[in-house]
């Protein structure tokens, strides 16, 4: 499989604190990769480095062979890698349709276009309608995003990232705060949407091990800023030491 994203020997320090210590990983086309670990393991810091929000203290990050360390999520999105936005929190006054239009406007180079003109822009309207249909939000386009149930808010967050049409998408806790039934529904929806839109790889940070083991092709376990394990789900589940360290108890 072709490597899309490659991080080598990532070190990240915050003053005297070293959050990441020599982390390396490869994400290949066709993979669904989950990053797991206890609180403080370095998961969010790693995603921030991978998505260009942080320039690592040491090491390298390459997307499709291009150095992208610290380039920022906007530039990275233009290159084909996106991160879920949580735009419902960023723009609480927008409707579902307007929220979905933000990444569509950015992707098509119309970020400065006022929302009032969206109805006259067929390409934007078509993109919004497609994302809404894929994620089961078609009947909620005019609804204020902040009024959605938590499960629909999660779907809207993920749909906003998919609207950038990335080759690689990174998601931080895509199912947090929703019921077990809604978690499975959200995961099924995003996996099917990824297939339909041609997304080549998915990376998620996730605490729910049922979701991790059910959907991942490969799992990276972090502990104290280091890679504790990089394995397929069956191999990781069978490693009692890793499971105990990551989950705190036998599983």
CATH of the domain at 66: 3.40.50.300
Q: Both 72 and 102 in a single domain?
A: no
Residue 152 lies in a domain: yes
As for how many domains the chain has, the answer is 2
Considering the domain architecture, whether residues 111 and 95 belong to the same structural domain is answered as yes
Q: Are residues 52 and 173 in the same domain?
A: yes
Same domain, 65 and 92: no
Q: What are phi and psi of 147, to 5 degrees?
A: -90, 0
- Same-domain status, 60 and 96: no
Give the structural domain span for 118: 85-165
Per 3-state DSSP, the chain is made up of helix, strand and coil in percentages (nearest 5) of: 45, 25, 30
Residue 144 within any structural domain of the chain: yes
My answer on whether 117 and 8 are in the same domain is no
* Per-residue tens of pLDDT for the chain, all 251 residues: 689 999 999 999 999 999 999 999 999 999 999 999 998 899 999 999 999 999 999 999 999 999 999 998 888 988 999 998 766 676 788 999 999 998 888 877 655 554 544 545 788 888 899 999 999 999 999 999 999 998 999 999 999 999 999 999 999 888 888 888 889 999 999 999 999 999 999 999 998 999 999 999 999 999 999 999 999 999 999 998 888 888 765 44
Domain shared by 97 and 127, yes or no = yes
Q: Is the dihedral of CA 39, 40, 46, 51 positive or negative?
A: positive
């Amino acid at each position: 499989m072709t490597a899309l994203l490659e991080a080598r020997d990532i070190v990240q320090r915050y003053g005297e604190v070293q959050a990441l210590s020599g982390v390396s990983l490869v994400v290949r086309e066709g993979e669904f990769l989950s990053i797991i670990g206890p609180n403080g393991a370095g998961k969010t810091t790693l995603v921030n480095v991978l998505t260009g929000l942080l320039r690592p203290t040491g090491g390298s990050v390459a997307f499709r062979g291009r150095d992208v360390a610290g380039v920022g999520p906007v530039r990275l999105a233009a290159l084909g890698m996106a991160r879920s936005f949580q735009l419902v929190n960023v723009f609480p006054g927008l409707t579902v349709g307007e929220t979905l239009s933000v990444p569509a406007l950015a992707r098509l180079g119309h970020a400065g276009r006022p929302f009032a003109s969206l109805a006259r822009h067929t390409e934007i309207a078509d993109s919004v309608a497609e994302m809404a249909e894929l994620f089961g939000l078609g009947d909620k386009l005019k609804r204020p995003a902040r009024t959605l149930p938590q499960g629909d808010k999660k779907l809207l967050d993920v749909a906003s990232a998919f609207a950038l049409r990335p080759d690689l998408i990174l998601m931080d806790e895509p199912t947090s705060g929703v019921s077990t039934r809604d978690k499975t529904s959200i995961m099924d929806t995003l996996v099917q949407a990824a297939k339909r839109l041609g997304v080549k790889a998915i990376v998620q940070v996730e605490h729910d091990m049922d979701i991790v083991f059910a959907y991942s092709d490969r799992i990276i376990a972090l502990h104290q800023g280091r890679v504790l394990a990089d394995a397929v789900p069956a191999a990781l589940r069978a490693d009692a030491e890793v499971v105990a360290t990551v989950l705190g108890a036998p599983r």
